Amino acid sequence: MANKITYKTLQAKKNVEQIVCITAYDALFASIFDKHVDLILIGDSLNMSFNNESDTLTIGMDEMIYHSKAVCRGANRAYIVGDMPFGSYHSIEDALKNATRFYKETKVDAIKLEGGKEVAHIIKAIVDSGIAVVGHVGLKPQMARSEGGFHVQGRDEASIERVFNDALEVEKAGAIALVLEGTISSLAKDLQRELKIPLIGIGAGNVCDGQILVWSDAFGFFTNFKPKFVRRFLNGAELVEGALKKYVDSVKTKDFPGDEETYL
């Protein structure tokens, strides 16, 4: 496709215009988002927003591949990134095997994995094998269980230094972009200046090179809770319920199907 977005397109936007990113998990919504956004992520957040789990840890490679295939069928313009699930990159061997699955079995442009200094050698090995990597530092949702929740990062000097160094290590290892999640915005601002690769924020303020949101949060379909950083651009759940009530009433009253929906 002539106007297919590549990592070079994303890189060219740094310091020029904001990079707009969103998650998608199926072909239907991916095809709606594809015309309007720069990057679509098949995030392991799907385990929470669509599977009603309390964290992202229980989703596996087979599910991520299934959803990534679907998204790739629906989108052919945006840059597509598939999330490596928890446990799929604990060793270089596993990371290479699973990242390769993404490239062989789907059409994602890159994979994403969480972590900084501790995974830099893994990122480098994946990049060296010819697979593009997007990093993810700051609040790392895959650590939610071991750390007892989702904690904003950068609230003290040690945390600021850790996230800052993590970001630099991920860039040095060869990542093409970096997601920065749940981090105070002054730290995001310093990182945006320091990094050469695009910095995509989620809960990191408006000082990054772009933003990403989980689509069901952004459009009000996921209503179990709303993190501070989410803005609801639509009350999706309410709209669907309203339409559903109309459907239920129409069926019960036999208003539906009418003559125009009936083969006469």
Q: How far is the CB of 252 from ligand KIV (least distance, A)?
A: 39
Under rule CB under 6 A, residue 217 binds ligand KIV:
no
Is the CB of 131 or the CB of 210 nearer to ligand KIV?
210
Under rule CB under 6 A, residue 44 binds ligand KIV:
yes
Among 67, 214, 215, 221, binds ligand KIV (CB under 6 A): 214
Q: How far is the CB of 254 from ligand KIV (least distance, A)?
A: 43
Under rule CB under 6 A, residue 75 binds ligand KIV:
no
Joined tokens for residue 18: 């904001």
Is the CB of 87 or the CB of 245 nearer to ligand KIV?
87
Determine the interface stretch with ligand KIV among 40-48, 125-133, 190-198, 233-241 (rule: CB under 6 A).
40-48
Under rule CB under 6 A, residue 45 binds ligand KIV:
yes
Nearest residue to ligand KIV on Cβ basis: 43
Is the CB of 128 or the CB of 147 nearer to ligand KIV?
147
Among 212, 216, 219, 236, binds ligand KIV (CB under 6 A): 212
Is the CB of 64 or the CB of 184 nearer to ligand KIV?
64
CB 42 within 8 A of CB 108: yes
Give the CA count within 13 Å in the CB-facing half-sphere of 241.
8
Give the separation between CA 62 and CA 248, rounded to whole angstroms.
Answer: 36
Positions in the binding site for ligand KIV (CB under 6 A): 23, 41, 43-45, 83, 136, 179, 181, 202, 212, 214
Which amino acids are annotated catalytic?
A: 181
